[in-house]
């Protein structure tokens, strides 16, 4: 009896402690807003004076960014041997973007979404990993070009760099050199084979954990009294894609390794892919700079174009050195501080940062949430379903 009572008390304390933490957070937010109310009111006035035309151009630049990113990923998947329909891939990218923004494991969670959810459209995990690897390496090269242009512009205009930015530039040079060395080493067969086999073991452990967890979740649903409909109520039985016995395929490491190497051979035989993908990565930065320039025009902020590009390049360098998902917090502080350092008033710097972050970070979230909605009344056929139907008719 005492055990039950103590257990009940502990279960009641958990939501109470959560409400206490939420209350403290609300009080701290109210105190911060009250203390900085004059500065916040100034920032709001700057945002309220934004012109609709400049804001519309910024949104168009962001939509162009999404379209180029979608074309880049589709091009890489096609080269890897798993072409995906445009609409399906666009939906997957929106969902992966939402997951990356909301979960602390930025990048890894997006790969998991593409690898698991994309399986119904024929996307293999090997092509997903190769797509992500190529996109990351070429993106790092494009980042190095943008940062180099930023440093070059700063040297031309003879603007002294603060010590913190100098240290960030030094760390960025070393990080870029290490990434290039790792990328070149990955092209060497012994290094690539060892790294791929290690990744396959990790992926196999994750798959086995998910299968055990899914069975546990199903057991918990039965314990909670969720009624499962008998086969007569659910309609005619559909053939299992796992075979006549309905068993799951075991994770064969040698088979997965062969699939990974076959995907690499397809990509390696496509000589023009790397150059086009690199140019599209540069175009992504170009559209982001266009979004920033349009927002500056909308907020009536005057800044030389050289300072605009130089500040953006330094922001890109600082946020790439951050380990936080989408550099949440680091990006805002870095961007506002760097543009203030380049001659922009604090209120305008923060207004520009919040407007830019709102369009580039928060705008894709409602689109991704809409993409998560599944219309069960019109399910899309999985790859090979039409061929299976034809074979059954024969």
Using CA atoms, how far apart are residues 273 and 279, in angstroms rounded to an integer?
Answer: 10
* CB contact set of 272 (below 8 Å; sequence gap of 6+): none
Q: Quote the DSSP letter at residue 361.
A: I
CA atoms within 13 A on the CB side of 217: 6
Residue whose pair of structure tokens reads 């600082």 in the numeric block: 318
CA dist 36 and 255 (Å) reads 60
Cα–Cα distance for residue pair 382/286, rounded to 1 Å? 37
In this structure, what token pair is assigned to residue 167?
């240290």
**pLDDT computed for residue 236 by the predictor:** 45
Q: Is 225 in a helix, a strand, or coil?
A: coil
Q: Identify the band that residue 289 occupies on the pLDDT scale cut at 50, 70 and 90.
A: very high
Q: Using an 8 Å Cβ cutoff, are 162 and 304 in contact?
A: no
Listed range (64-73, 98-107, 269-278) with the worst mean pLDDT = 98-107
Quick check: helix, strand or coil at residue 226? Answer: coil
Structural domain boundaries in the chain:
38-223+273-374
- DSSP H stretches of helix in 37-162: 37-48, 52-79, 86-102, 108-117, 125-156
Count CB-CB contacts under 10 A for residue 285.
20
User: pLDDT, tens digit, for every residue of 134-184?
Assistant: 887 788 788 888 888 887 887 777 666 677 777 777 776 777 677 777 777
Confidence of residue 348 (pLDDT cuts 50, 70, 90): very high
Report the alpha-carbon distance of residue 42 to residue 354 in Å, rounded.
13
How far is the C-alpha of 295 from the C-alpha of 299, rounded, in Å? 6
pTM, two decimals, is 0.72
- pLDDT at 394 > cutoff 90: no
User: For the ranges 22-31, 44-53, 147-156, 177-186, which has the lowest average pLDDT?
Assistant: 177-186
Return the structure tokens found at 168.
Answer: 């960030």
| pLDDT-above-90 percentage for the chain | 13
Q: Is 220 left (phi over 0), alpha (psi -120 to 50) or beta?
A: alpha
The torsion region of residue 246 among left (phi > 0), alpha (psi -120 to 50) and beta comes to left
The 10 Å Cβ neighbour count of residue 186 is: 15
């Amino acid at each position: 009896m005492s055990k039950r009572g103590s257990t009940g008390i502990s279960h009641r304390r958990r939501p109470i402690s959560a409400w206490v933490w939420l209350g403290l957070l609300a009080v701290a937010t109210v105190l911060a807003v009250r203390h900085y109310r004059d500065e916040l009111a100034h920032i709001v006035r700057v945002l309220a004076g934004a012109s609709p035309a400049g804001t519309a151009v910024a949104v168009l630049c962001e939509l162009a960014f999404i379209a180029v990113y979608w074309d880049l990923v589709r091009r890489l998947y096609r080269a890897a041997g798993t072409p995906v329909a445009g609409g399906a891939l666009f939906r997957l990218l929106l969902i992966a973007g939402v997951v990356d923004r909301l979960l602390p494991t930025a990048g890894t969670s997006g790969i998991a979404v593409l690898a698991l959810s994309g399986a119904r459209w024929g996307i293999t995990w090997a092509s997903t990993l190769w797509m992500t690897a190529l996109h990351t390496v070429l993106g790092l090269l494009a980042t190095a070009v943008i940062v180099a242009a930023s440093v070059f512009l700063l040297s031309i205009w003879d603007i002294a760099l603060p010590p913190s930015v100098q240290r960030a530039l030094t760390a960025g040079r070393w990080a870029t050199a290490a990434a290039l060395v790792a990328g070149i080493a990955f092209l060497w067969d012994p290094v690539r084979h060892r790294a791929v086999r290690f990744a396959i073991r990790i992926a196999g452990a994750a798959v086995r954990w998910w299968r055990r967890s899914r069975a546990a979740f199903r057991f918990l649903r039965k314990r909670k009294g969720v009624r499962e409909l008998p086969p007569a109520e659910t309609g005619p039985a559909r053939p299992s894609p796992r075979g006549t016995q309905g068993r799951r395929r075991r994770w064969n490491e040698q088979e997965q390794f062969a699939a990974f190497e076959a995907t690499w051979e397809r990509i390696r035989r496509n000589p023009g892919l790397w150059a086009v993908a690199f140019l599209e990565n540069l175009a992504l930065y170009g559209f982001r700079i266009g979004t920033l320039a349009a927002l500056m025009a909308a907020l009536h902020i005057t800044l030389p174009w050289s300072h605009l590009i130089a500040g953006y390049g330094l922001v890109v360098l600082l946020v790439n050195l951050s380990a936080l998902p989408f550099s949440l917090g680091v990006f805002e502080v870095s961007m506002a501080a760097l543009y203030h350092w380049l001659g922009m008033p604090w209120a305008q710097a923060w207004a520009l940062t919040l407007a830019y972050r709102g369009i580039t970070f928060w705008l894709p979230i409602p689109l991704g949430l809409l993409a998560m909605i599944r219309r069960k009344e019109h399910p899309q056929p999985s790859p090979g379903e039409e061929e299976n139907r034809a074979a059954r008719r024969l």
